[in-house]
Amino acid sequence: MTGELSPIDKAKFVAAKRAAEFVEDGMRVGLGTGSTAAWLVRCLGEKVREEGMRFRGVPTSTRTAELAREVGIEVITLDEARWLDITIDGADEFDAELNLIKGGGGALLQEKIVATASDQMVVIADAAKEVGSLGAFPLPVEVIPFGWTASQALIEEALVSMDVMGRKTTLRMDGDKAYVTDEGNHILDLHLSRIGNPRELALVLNQVPGVVENGLFIDICDRVVIGYGDGRVETRDINAGTVEEETMDFVESDNLFRDV
C-alpha cells in the first residue's frame, strides 16, 4: 500500500499516475523501462482493468513487455505499430533543456528507437533526477561484443578532446560475466562527472566503430513530469514553455501495489 512506500517511490508513483493521464483510447504508446516506468505500466494496467481503456503498448525491453502483459495491456511490436502517439519513460538524469541520460537499466537502444518514433516523448522522474549539467550518472554506451576493447580504447581517446571532467570507462557486468542487452550487445559505462557539451559528445561517440548507440537523449523529450514524495507533481513542457503544478491523490489499490 502507498502508506508503506518510501518517499522516493511515492514520488515515482505520482509522476507515473499523472503521466498516465496523457494516454487516450486507441493510442499507440511506447512503454519505457526501469523502476519509474514500471509504475506507469501498473497505472495504465489499472486503467485497462477498471476503466475499460484500450490502447496498444510497445515495450522497450523484455521485462517491460512481461509486466505489460501481466497487467492486461495489449502488447505489439514497433514494426506492427509503425509509429507511436506517445512514449512515456523514465530517465537517469535530465537538465533544464530536457536533455537526458538514459540506459541505467540497459535498454537505451530500444528506448531511443521507440522515443524517436513517437509524436511526443514524456519523461517521468523524481526530483532527484534533475541536474544542472549531465554527467554525474555514468553515461551508458552500447557496443557490439566483437572488438569491444578496441571500441573502448577509441572512446577513451575521443574523450581527451571532449569537455568532460572524467574519462574512466568500465564494462558493465552481470555478476562475473559481461552484461548482455536484449540485442546481444555489451554496455560501456562512461564515468564523466560532468558533460559540458552533450550534443557534441553524442555525435562523436556514435562515430566510433563498434558503438551501436549512446545514452544521451538530445532534443527528444517534450515534457517531463516530476514527482515529489508529498504527492506534488510538476509538469514542464519544453515546447510550450509552460510549467504546471498540482497534487495527486494516493489511491490504495491491491491490484496496483500487489507486487511492490
Spatial contact of 164 and 198, defined as CB atoms under 8 Å apart: no
Does 3 appear as a known binding residue?
no
**Which three cell numbers mark 115?**
522515443
Residue where the block lists cell 515515482: 12
Q: 93, 111, 142, 213: which one is catalytic?
A: 111
Amino acid at position 148, single letter: W
Q: HSE-up of 48 (CA within 13 Å, CB side)?
A: 22
Does 91 appear as a known binding residue?
yes
pLDDT of 4 reads 80
Spatial contact of 135 and 164, defined as CB atoms under 8 Å apart: yes
Is residue 258 exposed (0-12), middle (13-18) or buried (19+ Cβ within 10 Å)?
Answer: exposed
Determine the Cα–Cα distance for residues 47 and 28; give it in Å rounded to an integer. 15
pLDDT (tens place) for every residue of the chain, 260 residues total: 445 889 999 999 999 999 999 999 999 999 999 999 999 999 999 999 999 999 999 999 999 999 999 999 999 999 999 999 999 999 999 999 999 999 999 999 999 999 999 999 999 999 999 999 999 999 999 999 999 999 999 999 999 999 999 999 999 999 999 999 999 999 999 999 999 999 999 999 999 999 999 999 999 999 999 999 999 999 999 999 999 999 987 655 545 555 44
Amino acid at position 142, single letter: E
Query: If you compute the radius of gyration of the chain from its CA atoms, what whole number of angstroms results?
Result: 18
Determine the Cα–Cα distance for residues 53 and 46; give it in Å rounded to an integer. 9
3-state SS assignment for residue 218: coil
Sheet with strand 223-227: strands edge to edge: 74-75, 56-59, 28-31, 86-89, 121-126, 223-227, 232-237, 242-247
pLDDT of 153 reads 98
Does 241 appear as a known binding residue?
no
CATH topology of domain 2-128+219-257: Rossmann fold (3.40.50)
Torsional sign, CA 116, 198, 16, 64: positive
**Which three cell numbers mark 45?**
494496467
pLDDT of 1 reads 41
**In CATH, what number does 139-213 get?**
3.30.70.260
Does 47 appear as a known binding residue?
no
Does 60 appear as a known binding residue?
no
Domain boundaries, the chain: 2-128+219-257, 139-213
Residues 6+ apart with CB under 8 A from 2: 10, 13, 250, 251, 252, 257
Determine the Cα–Cα distance for residues 186 and 96; give it in Å rounded to an integer. 30
97 among known catalytic residues: no
pLDDT of 248 reads 87
